[in-house]
Amino acid sequence: MRGPLGGHQALAVLAAALLACGLAGCGAHTAAPPATPAAAGQPRVCGSWSSPTSTLGRAMTARYGDIRNCLVEGRTWVIATLGGHGTQAVIALYPCSPSDAACMNGQRPHPLGGWRFVKPPYPGGVTVLGRVGSGRLIVDVGGHQLTFDVTTGRFSPSSPLALNRPPRPSPSPPAATC
């Protein structure tokens, strides 16, 4: 007896599930390495100020867990943390003024008081998976794939990746029993 999906359909569904699992983590909670600081003078990448041994890195790690990602989106520095051991994971945002080139060069420390900390809607670490359009990130929060708007600081339950997935095949009617 043949199942509800043909061989090629079943393989396509399996491949899509494995791809989604790879992007979202599918419950695999392994310790991730902390963000790596950039070499001196490398623009638009986090500098040594984001390392776990810097003043800012130590303060963030103590309050929000290890730094998972550090990147710049538009004119805003973005740090995602893992939380854990009594700390809450967050996305931290540090906006730079358009006239402040030193803010964007990745080498100037950004004081803790200038950051905005956004708590995710689910428990668990925050990982930036990718970018979608201007100012929007795809993030994983404790196994939930969401979008995050850097400008508004809001999470959205709808994932842009879900829009690109093929529709699920409709289930076959149950087989007749004799």
pLDDT tens-digit profile of 41-98? 334 468 888 888 899 999 999 999 999 999 999 999 999 999 988 889 999 999 999 9
pLDDT at 170: 44
Q: Residues 88-127, buried b or exposed e (16+ Cβ, 10 A)?
A: ebbbbbbbbeeeeeebbbbbeebeeeebebbebeeebbbb
Q: How many CB atoms lie within 10 A of CB 138?
A: 19
pLDDT at 42: 38
pLDDT at 101: 87
Q: Which residue has the tokens 């929060």?
A: 141
> Residue 102 pLDDT more than 90?
no
Pairing of strands 116-118, 136-141: unpaired
**Structure tokens that stand for 99 in this block:** 């006239």
Percent of the chain with pLDDT over 70: 63
pLDDT tens for 104-144 read: 887 788 889 999 999 999 999 999 999 888 899 999 999 99
| Averaged pLDDT score across all residues of the chain | 73
